[in-house]
Amino acid sequence: MQATKIQDRSPRRLLIVIPEQEGESALERRLDEAGRGFEVIGRAYSETQALQRYFQSAPDVVVLDCDVVPEEPARLVGLLKRMAPGSCIVALVSAMDSMAACAARALGADAIGLLPELPDLLDRLLAGDAA
């Protein structure tokens, strides 16, 4: 499967989908540490919010923590890929051999990885060499 092309602009605009609503998430801290020209333009804490914010803001990339919906961790990947086929999605999972990783892969995520790998995953997407 070929990865979705990210728009050629800087900074790249990210929508992050995370399970917690209070304080700064580990995902946001990792993006801040990376400092690679990414701008968080929106946050969502549920599938419904993620879909609304995606269509309101048209981000370059959706970074999805698959713990948002633990019982169906990658469902949002499938929803976005059906409703917005050009969406570029990075799915963060707890383990590469987890059910969430398998589901995200099957549903069309452009990159799948662990939180510490996020900067490298984004770099590979930008280079057109997604995992």
Q: Which tens digit of pLDDT belongs to each residue from 23-74?
A: 667 777 777 766 667 888 999 999 899 999 999 999 999 999 998 888 888 8
The predicted model scores a pTM of 0.83
Contact call for residues 107 and 69 (beta carbons, < 8 A): no
Q: Catalogue the E-assigned strands of the chain.
A: 12-17, 38-44, 61-65, 89-92, 111-113
The neighbouring-strand residues paired with 51 are none
The pLDDT value recorded for residue 127 is 77
Residue boundaries of the structural domains of the chain:
12-127
Tell me the pLDDT band of 86, cut-offs 50, 70 and 90: confident
Domain 12-127 listed as CATH 3.40.50.2300: yes
| R_g of the chain computed on alpha carbons | 13
